[in-house]
Amino acid sequence: MWSFYNRGNVKINQLLNQEEGCTIEELLLEEEKLVVLCRGGSIPKLIEFICQRSTLQKLIQYSVQQPLNPNNHD
C-alpha cells in the first residue's frame, strides 16, 4: 500500500511542479487513482490545485456533460 501512495505522490508532484503548470486533464490521464490520493490527503499541493475555481468548474462540467455518443459508456 505504501508503494502505491509513494509512486502516485511522485508522479503527481512532478506534474504539479512543472514550470509551465499542468491541467486537470493531465492529472486524470496520468494517475487513474487520483481520487484515492486526494482522499489520503498526502499531497497538499494536489488538494490546493483541485480547489482552484477553474479546476472545480472543469470537473463539474465533465461530471454533468452529456456524452457525444449516448450508446458509448466509456
Beta carbons of 46 and 12 less than 8 angstroms apart = yes
Rounded to two decimals, what is the model's pTM? 0.65
* Domain residue limits, the chain: 2-62
Encode pLDDT of 19-59 as tens digits. Answer: 888 888 888 887 777 777 777 777 888 889 989 999 999 98
Element (H, E) at 69: none
Q: Name the CA dihedral angle for 21, 24, 27, 31, rounded to a multiple of 10 degrees.
A: 170
